């Protein structure tokens, strides 16, 4: 799967993300390359952003978009997993909390 494939998949989601969130999601995608199946890759992006937010306990509103993007990526990871193989949702969950 390529970055363009991931972008196309995200663009097909409804409702469409607000412009600011979409831009943040695209920036996160630009900072990494897909190297695993879509659900795992999206979960990894979400986890990375969440770790970034958590590493700045004195951060304020400037971290809100990162937090929203983390939430979106995790949500999209579950959506992608449900589309591909709903029976593997538990495995995706285990990977997130490990």
Q: What pLDDT, on a 0 to 100 scale, did the predictor assign at position 98?
A: 60
Q: What pLDDT, on a 0 to 100 scale, did the predictor assign at position 12?
A: 95
Domain ranges of the chain: 3-97
Q: What angle do CA 30, 17, 94 make, to 5 degrees?
A: 70
Q: What share of the chain is helix, strand, coil (3-state, %, to 5)?
A: 75, 0, 25
Among residues 52, 40, 49, which one has the least CA distance to residue 78? 40
Q: Write out residues in the chain with pLDDT < 50, as ranges.
A: none
Six-digit token string for 25 = 């999601």
Among residues 20, 32, 34, 30, which one has the least CA distance to residue 68? 20
- Its pTM stands at 0.88
């Amino acid at each position: 799967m390529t970055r363009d494939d991931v972008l196309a998949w995200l663009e097909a989601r409804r409702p469409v993300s607000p412009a600011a969130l979409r831009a943040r999601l695209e920036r996160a995608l630009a900072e990494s390359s897909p190297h695993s199946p879509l659900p795992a890759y999206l979960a990894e992006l979400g986890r990375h952003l969440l770790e970034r937010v958590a590493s700045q306990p004195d951060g304020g509103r400037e971290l809100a978009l990162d937090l929203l993007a983390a939430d979106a990526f995790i949500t999209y990871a579950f959506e992608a997993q449900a589309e591909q193989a709903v029976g593997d949702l538990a495995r995706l969950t285990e990977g997130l909390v490990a």
